[in-house]
Amino acid sequence: MGKTTLVQQVVERSRLIAHFASADEPALRGRDWVEQQWEAARLAARNAGKAGTVLVLDEIPKIPGWSETVKRLWDEDTRARRPLKVVLLGSAPLLIARGLTESLAGRFEVLHLPHWSYAEMRTAFGWSLEQYLFYGGYPGAAPLVGEPARWTRYIADSLIETTISRDVLLLTRVDKPALLRRLFLLSCHYSGQVLSYTKMLGQLQDAGNATTLAHYLELLAGAGMVMGLQKYAGDAARQRGSSPKLQVLNTALMTAQSGLRLEQARADREFWGRLTESAVGVHLGNAATRGVAEIFYWRERNREVDFVVRAGRAVAAIEVKSSRAHGAFPGMAAFTEAFRPSRKLLVGTGGIPLEEFLAQPVKHWVR
CATH code: domain of residue 81 = 3.40.50.300
Task: Give the model's pLDDT for residue 64.
Answer: 83
Task: Give the model's pLDDT for residue 240.
Answer: 59
Q: Within this chain, do residues 67 and 169 fall inside the same structural domain, yes or no? A: no
Q: Considering the domain boundaries, does residue 95 fall inside one? A: yes
Find out whether 299 and 268 touch, Cβ atoms under 8 Å. no
327/29: higher pLDDT:
29
φ/ψ region of 312 (left if φ > 0, alpha if ψ in -120 to 50, else beta) reads left
Q: For residue 254, what are the contacts with CB-CB under 8 A and spacing of at least 6?
A: 188, 189, 191, 248, 274, 275, 278
As a whole number, mean pLDDT of residues 34-49 equals 92
What confidence category does residue 295 fall into, taking pLDDT thresholds of 50, 70 and 90?
Answer: very high
Domain of 127 in residue numbering reads as: 118-365
Cα separation, 258 vs 184, in Å, equals: 14
351/95: higher pLDDT:
351
- Range of 2-11, 54-63, 183-192 with top mean pLDDT: 183-192
- As a whole number, the mean pLDDT across the chain is 89
What confidence category does residue 160 fall into, taking pLDDT thresholds of 50, 70 and 90?
Answer: very high
Q: Within this chain, do residues 55 and 177 fall inside the same structural domain, yes or no? A: no
As a whole number, mean pLDDT of residues 270-289 equals 95
As a whole number, mean pLDDT of residues 209-216 equals 90
Task: Give me the amino acid identity at 16.
Answer: L
Q: Within this chain, do residues 76 and 124 fall inside the same structural domain, yes or no? A: no
Q: Considering the domain boundaries, does residue 112 fall inside one? A: no
As a whole number, mean pLDDT of residues 99-105 equals 77
Query: In angstroms, what CA-CA distances link 364 with 60, 72, 306?
Result: 34, 41, 18
Q: What pLDDT, in 10s, does the model give residues 255-268?
A: 999 999 999 999 99
Task: Give the model's pLDDT for residue 235.
Answer: 62
Q: How far is CA 145 from the centre of its chain?
A: 22
* Burial (CB count <10 Å: 0-12, 13-18, 19+), residue 293: buried
Task: Give the model's pLDDT for residue 287.
Answer: 93
| Strands 17-22, 53-58: pairing kind | parallel
How much of the chain exceeds pLDDT 90, in percent?
64
Q: Within this chain, do residues 184 and 52 fall inside the same structural domain, yes or no? A: no
272/235: higher pLDDT:
272
* Burial (CB count <10 Å: 0-12, 13-18, 19+), residue 188: buried
Task: Give the model's pLDDT for residue 327.
Answer: 57
> How many beta carbons lie within 10 A of that of residue 344, not counting itself?
16
Q: Within this chain, do residues 139 and 74 fall inside the same structural domain, yes or no? A: no
Cα separation, 197 vs 185, in Å, equals: 15
Of 90-104, 170-184, 291-305, the one with minimum mean pLDDT is: 90-104
Q: Within this chain, do residues 73 and 126 fall inside the same structural domain, yes or no? A: no
Q: Within this chain, do residues 85 and 218 fall inside the same structural domain, yes or no? A: no
Q: Is the pLDDT of residue 47 over 90?
A: no
Q: Is the pLDDT of residue 123 over 90?
A: yes
Of 8-12, 46-50, 130-134, 316-320, the one with minimum mean pLDDT is: 46-50
Task: Give the model's pLDDT for residue 349.
Answer: 86
Paired residues of 57 in beta bridges? 21, 88
Task: Identify the DSSP state of 156.
Answer: I
Number of domains in the chain: 2
Task: Give the model's pLDDT for residue 305.
Answer: 94
